[in-house]
Amino acid sequence: MSRTLKLTLVAVPIVVSLVVAIAYLPVSRWLADFVEWDRHLGVEGVVVYALIFVALGLALVPNTPLYIGAGLLYGTFWGGVMTTLLGVIIELGTVVMLRTSVRPWVEHKLARRDLLGALQRSVERDGFWILLLLRFSPLVPFGLLNYVLALMQVPMWKRVLTNILGMFPCCLMFAYLGTLLSGTARIATADPPPTWKYLAIIAGLATAIIAGLLAARATRAQRA
């Protein structure tokens, strides 16, 4: 059995379990409290949310709960739009940071493995498409990828466009999961969301995982 198939067989059940858990289990207390607090701030709450989101992204702190929180706060579409645009800000902020004294430290950390060289060769060979595949997959850590790509000579338009096109579908899915949480009372009644919506989420995440596996395979090929 190939390594790609093994990863797929492991990853898909995890994704399905995650979707079911998020849809049916109670919201974690701290996320619910944050959403309630932020909602009462009004317009200022949008600014607070954005600042926290960007700060965590630049610090490489996983902020998946905030992607879901965007759906709770702003709905599926606008939550997806907001987190996508904030992702672009994080990427551009990473590029700016690596023009300072932070760059040698990041290069030293990444130099321990040959990932940087392999990824750079993949980007140089396939350019736009490898960047899009990497952005499209939730298997590739968003923050770490920002730092890796910031070390490369990638045109700004490619950074921004692949970020928007690749991240927007995933951001929409996470935001939609947030809207499911906002309607837990309705889910518990006789009017649950249609089954096709859950299937659409699972299919979307599975597609994103496949994209990540393809990107990883292309990168491994450059190592050989």
**What pLDDT, in 10s, does the model give residues 22-70?**
555 554 566 777 778 888 888 888 999 999 999 999 988 878 888 888 9
Between the alpha carbon of residue 160 and those of residues 150, 155, 224, the distances in Å are: 12, 9, 30
pTM as predicted? 0.69
Reported as type and span, the H/E element at residue 164 is: helix 156-182
For all residues of the chain together, what is the average pLDDT? Answer: 73
Which token pair is 26? 């109670």
Query: With bands split at pLDDT 50, 70 and 90, how would you rate the model's confidence at 133?
Result: confident
Question: What's residue 78's pLDDT?
Answer: 92
pLDDT above 60 (res 222): no
b/e sequence 136-162, b meaning 16+ C-beta within 10 Å: bbbbbebbebbbbbbbeebeeeebebb
Domain count, the chain: 1
Range of the domain at 115: 3-223
Nearest CA-CA partner of 23 in 179, 189, 190, 203: 179
* Tokens 């338009």, located at residue: 157
Percentage helix, strand, coil for the chain under 3-state DSSP, each rounded to 5: 80, 0, 20
Residue 85, Cβ density class (10 Å: 0-12 exposed, 13-18 middle, ≥19 buried): middle
Task: Answer whether 123's CB lies under 8 Å from 130's CB.
Answer: yes
Task: Measure the CA angle with vertex 164, ends 161 and 166; round to 5°.
Answer: 100
CA 215 vs. chain centroid, Å, equals 15
The residue ranking higher by pLDDT, 211 or 30, is 30
d(CA 13, CA 26): 21
pLDDT above 60 (res 103): yes
In this predicted model, what pLDDT tens digit does every residue of 10-30 receive, in sequence order? 555 555 565 555 555 554 566
